[in-house]
Amino acid sequence: MNYLIYVISLIAIYSILTISLNLSVGYTGILSIAQAAFMGIGAYTTAILLTQMGYNFFATIFIGMAVAGIIGCGLAWATLRLKGDYYVIASFGFQIIIYNIFLNWISLTQGPFGIRQIPPPQVFGFSFGSPLKYALLSLGFMAICLWAAWRLGEAPFGKVLRAIREDEAAAASIGKNVKRFKILVFTISSMMASIGGALYACLITYIDPFTFTIHESIFILALVIIGGAGNVFGSFVGAALLISIPEMLRFLDVPTTVASPIREILYGTLLLVFLRLRPKGLLPEKISSGV
């Protein structure tokens, strides 16, 4: 039962990460492969502040959001003038830079040894240390992020983002500041990803740089594609599918050395199948009338 509850927490966390990337990829058409970097920023901020400075968990969430937001805003300002493949390459470069900071800033991040014994969240003496309590906490954060992203998408702000995605020149011609909107949504996306990272750190209780690689960014992008780009509810469905199905391998009599490659093959196969049969994902985007 505890393992099932753990999987529910994991689904909630990856739903947050997928929703965050869907804001930039699905709504705005900004194809980034650096989401794991912002996940890592949130995770390391929370882990360091909890283990080394004794901060309150919710304070670390807000500090992590601030750090990720500032870095995301700076990255967006510097790179979003690039188009298409050039921006993807720039986001890849940023991902590599952040990964190497995690790996080599040993005095702060413990380098390849990682940060261990990350304590569970506590609020006014109430601990979320039990699996059920932590699952409820994770689901609560997921619900907030889902609601916030949905409201953004339904608001005039979201309609402008979709207009930018379809035709930047047309959006600019009707007086929309395209660069400002893109910087703003990328900053929000970065901050939301940091929440997922903070929750992940406390769930696993151990983090190292090898968790936040380009492979993780591509995995989160796959969740967006399978769930449905532009549909935040699809983000939850995609995360639930790609997290839960491979986890079922743990209940089969399969050696660990074999289960891991099978899991990776399964991820790739599911992605190829959906790209071929349902390119718009399980829950395609629904465009509301009026712009």
Kindly state the average pLDDT of the residues 159-175: 91
Contact residues for 190 (Cβ-Cβ < 8 A; gap 6+)? 20, 38, 41, 68, 69, 71, 72, 73, 75
Please give the pLDDT value at position 124: 81
CA distance 239 to 241: 5
CA end-to-end distance (rounded Å), the chain: 47
CA distance 179 to 68: 19
Cross-strand pairs, 127: 122
Residue with tokens 């099978």: 262
Q: Tell me which range, 42-46, 84-88, 222-226, 282-286, is most confidently predicted by mean pLDDT.
A: 42-46
- Coil, strand or helix: which one is 258? helix
Which range among 23-32, 106-115, 222-231, 272-281 shows the weakest confidence by mean pLDDT? 272-281
Position 183 confidence tier, pLDDT thresholds 50, 70, 90: very high
Kindly state the average pLDDT of the residues 73-89: 89
Contact residues for 106 (Cβ-Cβ < 8 A; gap 6+)? 113
Please give the pLDDT value at position 101: 97
Position 288 confidence tier, pLDDT thresholds 50, 70, 90: low
CA distance 218 to 224: 10
Is the pLDDT confidence value at 99 over 70?
yes
The pair phi, psi for residue 68, each rounded to 5°, is: -65, -40
Question: Considering the chain, what percentage of its residues have pLDDT values greater than 90?
Answer: 72
Given a contact cutoff of 8 angstroms between Cβ atoms, the answer to whether 143 and 15 are in contact is no
**What is the residue-averaged pLDDT of the chain?**
91
Position 24 confidence tier, pLDDT thresholds 50, 70, 90: very high
Domain ranges of the chain: 2-212
User: For 243-266, what is each residue's pLDDT tens digit?
Assistant: 988 777 777 776 767 777 877 788
Position 54 confidence tier, pLDDT thresholds 50, 70, 90: confident
Is the pLDDT confidence value at 287 over 70?
no
Residue with tokens 């090898």: 210
Q: 173: burial class by Cβ within 10 Å (0-12, 13-18, 19+)?
A: exposed
Is the pLDDT confidence value at 291 over 60?
no
From 126, 94, 131, select the one nearest 213 (Cα to Cα): 94
pTM, to two decimals:
0.94
Position 146 confidence tier, pLDDT thresholds 50, 70, 90: very high
Which range among 86-90, 124-128, 133-137 shows the weakest confidence by mean pLDDT? 124-128
One-character DSSP codes across 62-86: HHHHHHHHHHHHHHHHHHTTS-THH
